[in-house]
Structure 1
Amino acid sequence: MSQLSSRITRYAAVVSLASLASLALAACGSSSDKGAATAPSGGPELVSANTLTVCTHLSYKPFEFKDSSGNVIGFDMDLAQATAKQLGLPKVTIVDIDFASQTSGAVFAAKKCDMAMGAVTINDKRKQAVDFSTPYFSATQALLTKKSSGVTDLASLKGKKIGVQTDTTGQEYAQKNKDANGYETVVFDDLPTQITGVQSGRVDAIINDNGPLLDFTKDNPDFAVVKEFDTGEQYGFLFQKDNANAAKIKDAFNAALKKSIEDGSYKESYKKWFGSEPAVMPSVS
């Protein structure tokens, strides 16, 4: 959500249950057995029986996005599938929901999902609302613009507009450097509308995680990532805070991550989605 990405946008307080009724949900996959469903072999209770239900905010290519058949795929999805396997579950069900309701913990309070993903940057503010997995990805922020724009860095945006994704690390970084560089920020709800904003000329450049923006340039040669900003970001999967049952699911994710690093499947997935081997491997014990 940092993440094409450092996606980085994402309420500081847990949303009330009353407001949760208005959340719009779109699920890929389904199960009618809601509630105290249990994973095989006495595992944790699940939102739905026989599936690991995962919240995310689509689309954030190459971390999570739909293919031509409507299936959710991507780097994060590979790790979600590995976690389901670790729990002995046959499938993953995706719930597409806004980013802020994940980082606030609202989706867990409402029992919408067992865990959440989306290139979410681990930070102290979010730790107040949710628990994070072991960090699984290191990222930087990136500046994307048309090659013909003349924009090369934040200073060259003076008097111009930069698009940011709400509640993300990119938004925070752009706001922090706004006065020094004299640009205007324009807020978008998600990465696709942010990219549309720079394509249409509504904004002169956008800032977001380097992964999805670099991926975008592969198929859009008129655009380029002209600058990256080392913000020391690491991504994690999200879980309900201070909950023993959720801790079991988190442990399964961490175990699946460790196994994928040891057996080489992490590198294979990384190369598949990003085109190269990771410069920095996650540190797991």
Structure 2
Amino acid sequence: MPSTSRVRSRLFRTAAVAALLPLALAACGSSDSGTQGGSGATDAATGGITTVSSGNLTVCTHLTYKPFEFNQDGQTVGFDIDIVNLAAKEMGLTVQVVDIDFEQITTGAVFTANRCDIAAAGMTITEPRKQAILFSDPYFDATQALLTKTGSGITGLDSLRGKRLGVQTGTTGQEYATKNAEANGYEMVVFDDLPLGVNAVKAGRVDAAINDNGVLYDFAKDNPDTEVVAEFDTGEQYGIGAKKDDANATAIIGKLNEALATARQDGTYDEIYKKWFGTTPGAAQPGATDTQSPASPATSS
């Protein structure tokens, strides 16, 4: 989601990012072909809703964040992609994915630039972000977790005194680790995406890594030389983002909320959840550990 410089941030940033928008957007690529950033096109099948690319629901995300969004056999797949497909199907549209810096999403820059219709990126709903973008109803419950090498003897943040903890820049995990660093005496090593951080654990460059529980359990499942040893009760919920204070974006989010509610009622949501996580909502992840209470209050982001 160069090991210490760039951003897949989960925190709200300042307007300074907007000043870099033209350059940042010029550097971003799309995982599918199609017209992007134009004046939009209204499709009759959508009931008058305008999309940035005719016939498509253009979704901004930041790869890779398996199992929420990642590339497989040349296609972008994952839990988030299946969720947005629910709304796209109802509107008669095809999902088109754009891979872009996460910070451009959380600041609302991608919507100001008409780059995409919605954003799905394992993004926690926070009060600061709600000032910049419109959120859907929550669609996933998450918390922070700690990944280590198997048999490390590390059981939580209090086991990391004098050790190195990998964090993903701008994320909830980084914020939580920062709040607890002084009390637990570890050094934070900042990575700009998920794969760099978790693979640093495998390689022994850091002693542990903190990130959202869903992605860490998925990584540990595929890498048995690692394990999730702790979870922290941060009480986060993911939401789909769209342009704030915009009637068209509000209508799209309304369609998404309706599709999500229907999927929860008819069992489709549970099927999608089990497809990607191997359990039903609320059930423990395979290999799950006891959840630890925060050592200090953590602001979800």
- Give the TM-score taking structure 2 as reference length: 0.86
Q: Secondary structure at the match of 1:162?
A: strand
User: Could you tell me how far apart the structure 2 residues matched to 1:113 and 1:158 are?
Assistant: 44
What CA distance in whole angstroms lies between the structure 1 residues aligned with 2:35 and 2:9? 33
Residue aligning to 2:141: 138
The CA RMSD over aligned residues, in Å, is 1.7
Contact kept? 1:40, 1:87, Cα under 8 Å = no
- Judged with a 3 Å threshold, the aligned counterparts in structure 2 of structure 1 residues 143 and 11 are, in CA distance, closer, same or farther, namely same
**What is the count of residue pairs matched by the alignment?**
273
- 1:37-76 alignment runs, 5 A limit: 37-41=41-45, 42-67=47-72, 69-76=73-80
Q: CA deviation at 1:219?
A: 1.4
Choose from 197, 203, 206 the match for 1:203. 206
Distance 1:10 1:193, change over 3 A: farther
Deviation at 1:17, TM superposition (A): 5.7
What is the aligned partner in structure 1 of residue 232 from structure 2? 229
- Report the alpha carbon displacement of residue 8 of structure 1 after superposing the two structures with TM: 6.9
Q: CA deviation at 1:13?
A: 2.8
Does the C-alpha gap of structure 1 residues 35 and 8 become closer, same or farther in structure 2, counting only changes over 3 Å? closer
Percent same amino acid among aligned pairs?
55
| Equivalence for 1:16 | 18
The structure-2 alpha-carbon separation of the partners of 1:114 and 1:159, relative to structure 1 and needing over 3 Å to count, comes to same
Unmatched segments (≥5 aa) in structure 1? 2-6, 281-285
CA positional deviation for 1:58: 0.6
**1:153 matched residue in structure 2:** 156
Displacement after TM superposition at 1:29 (Å): 1.8
| Highest RCO, 1 vs 2 (Cα 8 Å, sep ≥ 6) | 1
User: 2:87 matched to 1:86?
Assistant: no
**Matching residue's letter, 1:16:** A
Where in structure 2 are there 5+ consecutive unaligned residues?
A: 2-7, 284-301
Matches of 1:233 and 1:158, distance apart in 2? 26
Deviation track 1:65-85 (CA, whole Å, cap 9, x = no partner) reads: 111x21111111001111111
The amino acid across from 2:240 in the alignment is F
TM-score under structure 1 normalisation?
Answer: 0.91
Shift of 1:88: 1.6
Q: Cα distance, 1:10 vs. partner? A: 4.1
